[in-house]
Amino acid sequence: KKKKKKNIPMAVLLLIALAAVARANVPDIVIAPGVTMPVVGVGSCCGLYNISAWIAQGGRHIDTSCDYGSQGAIADAMKASGIPRGEFFITSKIDPEDYGPDVGQAVDAKILQPLQTDYVDLLLMHHAGRWQTDKSPHPPCFNASDANGRGTYYTCRIQTWQAFQQLVKDKKARAIGVSNWEERDLDQLYNITKTYPSVNQIEYHPYYYTPALAAYCKDKNIKVEAYAPMGAFPRSIMLDDPHIKALAKKYNKDPGQIALRFELQSGADIVIPRSKSAAHMAQNMDIFSFTLSGDDVDSIANLPQNKIYHTNCQPWC
**Enzyme catalytic residues:** 68
Given a contact cutoff of 8 angstroms between Cβ atoms, the answer to whether 285 and 60 are in contact is: no
**Through-space distance between the first and last CA atoms of the chain, rounded to whole angstroms:** 70
What b/e string do you get for 62-88 counting C-beta neighbours within 10 Å, with b at 16 or more? bbbbbebebbebbbebbeeeeeeeeeb
Among 204, 202, 196, residue whose Cα is nearest residue 221: 196
Q: What span, in angstroms and rounded, lies between the C-alpha atoms of 90 and 268?
A: 19
Q: In which element (H, E) is residue 43 found?
A: none
Q: What angle do CA 100, 102, 104 make, to 5 degrees?
A: 110
Read out DSSP for 221-253? Answer: TPEEEEESTT-SSSS-GGGG-HHHHHHHHHHTS
